[in-house]
Structure 1
Amino acid sequence: MSEALYAQVHETLRARIVGGGLAVGDRLPTQAELVEEFSVSAITIKRALDMLRDEGFVTRRPRIGTIVVSTTPAGGAPSAPADRLPLVGYIVPGFDDAFGSHLLGGILAASSERAHVVVAMSRGSSELEERLIEEQLDGGIDGLVLLPTSSQSIPQSVATLVGRGFPIVIVDRTLTGVPVSTVTSDNVTGGQLAAEYLFDLGHTRIALVQSPNAVSTLDERRRGVVAAHAAHQVRLEESQVYSGVRSVVPGSEVTPEDDVDGLAAFLEAHPDLTGCVVTEYHSARLVLQAAHRLGRTVPDDLSVICFDAPPEYVDAAVPLTHVEQDQHAIGARAFELVERQLAERGDVSQDTVPVRILAGGSTAPAPRSARS
């Protein structure tokens, strides 16, 4: 099992004192020097030094520094730490009933009586995400499950942890070129299934609606939609793609009303579109509002299919046809991969979880006038 970073620093410094590398009266390196030596945060160093002080090895003197006062712990040799369950961190931009809650449920179910889990939300901020990772490491986590805010750049903390062989698993994202374990849905197949579902209903003019969120998930779903068009020898024109749904992006200041305005303008400019693949559930809700504003009935005038949906009672009027991700399985598998790395450092696995279509009330055969 891996140790918390502060515990590793503490053990190294303690060994230097007990082994004679630092004698009584010697001064330890400064906090800044220890931060550089161990490549950890100042908080981590402080916690390690506090442990040495509490054990009676050192004293900390203002303007002088940390001085060795004993080469044996106060009260004799310390007892061995009691056996404990590992502590696993989980950091996520946010979650709700559409996506995230069931993934967390999968992690908690799989970790029951096997580990403790501490959860934190980054709210879509990469800066907060980095700080939360550091705080959880300082808090003594043994492994980390992370749903990154972005896929465009590799968080520095993630690259550092991977380099050290620290147990870490990325969920719902693909980080290209990083030897790190990942668990994602089969998003490419999901996008293809969604578009195929509309093609099978006779739709040939299909829109793709998504947010501008910089994550691999959306890119993969778009690839699937493009593949379905290619299979039917139909070109997906750029004019059929709307990527301006911004209110669903964590941290965005754009209002849902602004997005409904933009979607209504898009649909009004393209009256020939009879089907719509939406890459996120909350965006699909906005599409329904935009269609209603234009007097276009769902599903008779416009069929809508999306990814994910909470229980049907939330959308009692129009239960959405959607691509269902097995979020519980993603969460459970993520914990299992962390646990596997705790037993064997450096174990890397990229897992893909299948998806399926769940029919709802938001899709119907294309209007006769629109069928080719």
Structure 2
Amino acid sequence: MANDSGSMPMYEMIFQTLRDRITRNEYKIGDRVPSEKELCSEFGVSRITSKKALKMLADEQLIIRQPGRGSFVADSNSVLLKPYDNQQAARTSGKKRIIGLVITNFSDMYGTELIYGMEEASRDNDCFLVVRRSFGIPELEEKAIQQLLGLGVDGLIIFPAQGEYFSAEILKLVIQKFPFVMIDRYLKGIPASSVSTDNVQAAKEGTRYLFELGHRHIGFLAPPPANTTAIEERIDGIIEAHVEHNMLVNREMWLETFTSTMPNVFDPQARIEDVNKLVEHLRKNPHITALFAAEYNIALLVEEAAGKLGLHIPDDLSVICFDSPESHEGCRITHMRQNQFGIGKQAFENVLNMQGNELPITRILLPATLIKGKSTSSVKQD
């Protein structure tokens, strides 16, 4: 490219060109800007000239330069791109590492064991764990990620707030190659490592167990899948189990509209509506002998709906779900117990292993265990 800017040095012209692109949002916050080599090719200059132009952008705090990874558009109102430098300093100074966890919510039913696993891994590795809840609200998830990065964490573990869309903050982590791992699910189109249950195999095992008890009319209950990979995979597992037994799947017996159990729903009326929907569903499908709930809280809705209809569990209706606060033999509800402790510990250790290392993207699946409770029995013969 010819220098048509009079006596202006080439490095300054490149600086102004890139600054204009950033101002016009051609390069957005978190985007990688052209490298020294790419600028050499575009403007026909030497490596020294392009390097000086990038240094001027960095001096103006328009970009953050990260050796070995590239230069990224900075946000003057935040510290989104600075934590990597903080963690490098922490490691060289001997400061203990901090891993941040962003999780929708946690309870005895799901989440607490995850944190226990992470906590043990943090003690084993002499690190700290900082937790922020998003309650399934994307805006809170983004704010939590920003806050943890501002704290200077060395890595992140993220339980995504939603499955259909990934937040801009997660995309920035990918661009920066910041160490982070997803748990419970993975996001399609995002090259990020994840640790979760083998949901396909777990759903197959639970369905097979119902088949062994003689059930052939099985309904599946779940919140709207909305591209949530965990739910989608459980659906795949149920379908595969039917195929293995040469049985057709009748999705008219399924109900995937439950909202009261979602982490961002706090309306008591939603629970009443969900129970009523289930009552009506069972009235329309009296041939259903078993229900497979994607979540423990949905199984509780089944108990309430069955009571309204005068149905006895398990004599009239068998119920199985994922997880339960009572995960031991003789518990009330039969369930597939996820290895939450193992997932948490594995995720934490994976993030630590990413420190300073270019590791391949991995997806780790842990098996679930069938815990037989008092909510399932053989089909009652007419």
TM-score where L is the length of structure 2: 0.76
Name the counterpart of 2:77: 42
Aligned to 1:291: 306
Shift of 1:87: 1.0
Identify if the C-alpha distance between structure 1 residues 274 and 138 changes in structure 2 by more than 3 Å, giving closer, same or farther. same
> Is the deviation greater in 349-358 or in 81-90?
81-90
Percent sequence identity is 31
Structure 2 match to 1:358: 371
Q: 2:180 and 2:244 mapped to 1: Cα distance?
A: 38
Distance (whole Å) between structure 2 residues aligned to residue 153 and residue 288 of structure 1: 33
Match of 2:244 in 1: 231
The residue aligned with 2:281 is 266
Contact 1:166 1:345 in 2 (8 A): no
1:222 Cα shift?
0.8
Residues 73-222 of structure 1: matches in 2 within 5 Å?
A: 82-112=93-123, 113-214=125-226, 215-222=228-235
- Higher mean C-alpha deviation, range 225-234 or range 287-296: 225-234
Task: Name the amino acid aligned to 1:187.
Answer: N
Distance 1:182 1:207 in 2: 29
Of residues 335, 357, 372, the one that matches 1:344 is 357
Aligned length: 313
Is residue 219–residue 288 contact of structure 2 (8 Å, CA) maintained in 1? yes
Show CA shifts across 1:33-75 (max 9, x none).
4689643461328999xx9xxxxxxxxxxxxxxxxxxxxxxxx
From the superposition, tell whether residues 201 and 119 of structure 1 become closer, same or farther in structure 2 (CA, over 3 Å): same
Alignment partner of 1:264: what SS? helix
Match of 2:344 in 1: 331
d(CA) in 1 for partners of 2:345 and 2:76?
Answer: 31
For the pair 1:303 / 2:338, whether they are aligned, the reply is no
Distance 2:115 2:307 in 1: 34
Report deviation, 1:152.
Answer: 1.5
- Structure 2: distance between partners of 1:37 and 1:352: 33
Q: Is the 8 A contact 1:288 1:298 kept in 2?
A: yes
Deviations 1:293-350 (A, max 9, x none): 100100000000000000269xx9x700000100000000001110110141344221
Native 8 Å contact 2:74 2:81 kept in 1? no
Deviates more, 1:214-223 or 1:151-160: 151-160
Whole-angstrom distance in 1 between the partners of 2:294 and 2:317: 16
Distance 2:272 2:152 in 1: 43
Deviation of the 1:133 alpha carbon: 0.6
Counterparts of 1:46 and 1:312, CA distance in 2? 42
Distance 2:336 2:110 in 1: 12
**2:332 equivalent to 1:319:** yes
Which amino acid is the alignment partner of residue 264 of structure 2?
Answer: G
Cα pair 1:188 1:223 within 8 Å, conserved: yes
Q: Which amino acid aligns with 1:335?
A: F
Is the alpha carbon distance of 1:357 and 1:338 closer, same or farther for their aligned partners in structure 2, counting shifts above 3 Å?
Answer: same
Structure 1's 136 and 312: CA in aligned 2 closer, same or farther, altered over 3 A?
A: closer
Q: Which has the higher contact order (CA 8 A, sep 6+)?
A: 1
d(CA) in 2 for partners of 1:338, 1:127? 24
Structure 2 residue ranges without an equivalent (≥5): 1-51, 65-70
> Do the aligned residues in 2 keep the contact of 1:312 with 1:319 (CA within 8 Å)?
no
Q: Is the 8 A contact 1:260 1:287 kept in 2?
A: yes
Contact 2:100–2:130 (CA<8 Å) still a contact in 1? Answer: yes
Q: Which stretch shifts more, 296-305 or 144-153?
A: 144-153
**Contact 2:155–2:178 under 8 Å retained in 1:** yes
Change (3 A) 1:275 1:132: same
Give per-residue Cα distances to partners, 1:142-177, cap 9 Å, x unaligned. Answer: 100000012212222212212221100000012223
Q: SS at the partner of 1:207? A: strand
Q: Which segments of structure 1 move beyond 3 Å, counting only runs of 4 or more? A: 33-38, 45-48
Distance 1:293 1:256, change over 3 A: same
**Is 1:275 aligned to 2:310, yes or no?**
no
Residues of 2 paired with 1:218 and 1:179: CA distance?
A: 20
